[in-house]
Amino acid sequence: MPVVTTPSQSAIALTRHGLIDFEKAWQVQRTIHLEVSEGIRPNTLLLLEHPSVYTAGRRTLDSEKPQDGTPVIEVDRGGKITWHGPGQLVGYPIVKLSQPHELVGFVREIERGLINVCEDLGIKATCVSGRSGVWVIDEKGDRKIAAIGIRVSKGVTMHGFALNVCPDLSAFNQIIPCGIADADVTSISMELGRNISIEEVSPLVERHIFESLKKVCA
């Protein structure tokens, strides 16, 4: 069973699901989305990890999928193909937006929250114009540390973000992550040069993402 909490001074509930199959989590999202849109459940943030899986957003081309027969789940979010797996902290904010047609503003707030998480850990991260997600950019090149893919229906968001904490990044070698061929993928552990756990990062994500969501929720 997921752990459910509601932080003080916040109208946003939090559910921690641990490691959960992607399609099962997708069904949980759909159920919560319906309840939030009907006003019978508060805005909710799901935090979890997935077993290894590739998911393809609506803009994914067949040529961008793994060519070795690896299963790919087609999803109704924006963006292209990406990978989820253990060591990656996934967040699904299912929230009613105060400005439902301002999706870009919502994405910018999620990026800002994740950038703050990275900064708390000593990583200088940023956002890049025209490329959603959170990036580390220096003399070593451009490296994506968090991906974002969102869908809005009935003014309520679904899907969300994936922050690479300590995953096996080799899974990204089979795809062009998010359709961006001229950049690499990184993780918090890789940038810090030491092992860091999901448990260490989760409280920071909860704090900063809640601050971001409170700015855009109805």
Indicate the Cα dihedral angle 19, 202, 75, 159, nearest 10°.
130
**Which of 118, 166, 178, 217 is an active site residue?**
178
Per the CB < 8 A criterion, the answer to whether 115 and 186 are in contact is: no
Annotated catalytic residue 178: yes
Tell me which residue of 25, 19, 168, 206 sits closest to 33, measured CA to CA.
Answer: 25
Q: How far apart are CA 33 and CA 152, in angstroms?
A: 10
Per the CB < 8 A criterion, the answer to whether 144 and 135 are in contact is: yes
Active site residues: 178
